[in-house]
Amino acid sequence: MSDDGTITDSSATGEAPVTTLATPIRVDYQYTAGLAQSRYLRGMAEGVFLGQRCPACHKVYVPPRGSCPTDGVATTDRVELGNTGTVTTYCVVNVPFQGQSIEIPYICAQVLLDGANVSFMGLLQEIPTDQIRMGMRVEAVWVEPDELTPSLASVKYFRPKSEADADYETYKEYL
Ligand SMILES: [Zn+2]
C-alpha cells in the first residue's frame, strides 16, 4: 500500500490496481419521531410550520426537539410560523451521486423562517444557481393540498420572494 492508502498491484501480471468496489447495501429502519416532532410533522400535513417556544429564553425552535438546549427545559408553547424566511447560508451542489433525484446544479440553503431562532436546510428552486446570496428572502412552496402528508416532502422547495434582501444584522446570529 502506498502512503496515500492506494492499493497497488505489485505483481508481475500487469493488471490495473483495484481502486473502487461497488457494493449494494440496503438498510431499513424505523424512526420514532417523539411528541415534539410528531406535532411538527402533523403540521406538515396541514401545510404549516409548527415550532415551539422556550418558556425561559423565548427562542422558537423549528423543527422542535421538545426541549431547549440552552435552558434544559421543555418547550411546550406551540408557535405557528409563516411561510417566509431568509437564506442564511447555502451550498450549490454540482456533484452527481447515486440515487440523486434533483438535476444538478441545485441549491441547498439554510432557511431561517421569520419568527424562528434556528434555521433548517431546504431546497431552493426557481433561481439560477449564480444568483443565490445570503440574506435572500424566500418562501416555501407546498405540494397540492391533497398531496400533503406528515413528512418533509410536503414542502416541495423554497423560492425567492420579490423583496429586498434581509439586513445581515438580522440573521448573523444564525449562521
Ligand atoms: Zn431556552
Distance (Å, whole) CA 50 – CA 67? 14
CA of 58 to the centre of ligand 1 (A): 6
C-alpha cell of 72?
A: 434544559
CA of 144 to the centre of ligand 1 (A): 35
Burial class (CB in 10 A: 0-12, 13-18, 19+), 65: middle
Query: Looking at beta carbons, which pairs linking 53-57 to residues 24 or more positions away fall under 8 Å?
Result: 53/77, 53/79
- Determine contact, residues 132/86, Cβ cutoff 8 Å: no
Distance (Å, whole) CA 122 – CA 55? 27
Q: What does the CA dihedral 81, 53, 70, 167 come to, rounded to 10 degrees?
A: 40
pTM of the model: 0.82
- Confidence at 8, pLDDT banded by 50, 70, 90: low
CA of 81 to the centre of ligand 1 (A): 18
> For residue range 53-72, what is the model confidence (pLDDT) as tens digits?
999 999 999 999 999 999 99
Q: What is the pLDDT of residue 97?
A: 86
> For residue range 17-46, what is the model confidence (pLDDT) as tens digits?
889 888 888 899 998 999 999 999 999 999
CA of 77 to the centre of ligand 1 (A): 12
Length of the chain measured in residues = 175
> For residue range 104-144, what is the model confidence (pLDDT) as tens digits?
999 999 999 999 999 999 999 999 999 999 999 999 999 99
CA of 150 to the centre of ligand 1 (A): 27
CA of 66 to the centre of ligand 1 (A): 11
Compute φ and ψ for 77, nearest 5 degrees. -75, 120
pLDDT at 1 over 60: no
CA of 60 to the centre of ligand 1 (A): 9
Say which residue the cell 410560523 belongs to: 81
Burial class (CB in 10 A: 0-12, 13-18, 19+), 109: buried
Q: What is the pLDDT of residue 5?
A: 56
pLDDT at 2 over 60: no
Q: Tell me the sheet residues that pair with 141.
A: 157
CA of 72 to the centre of ligand 1 (A): 7
CA of 64 to the centre of ligand 1 (A): 12
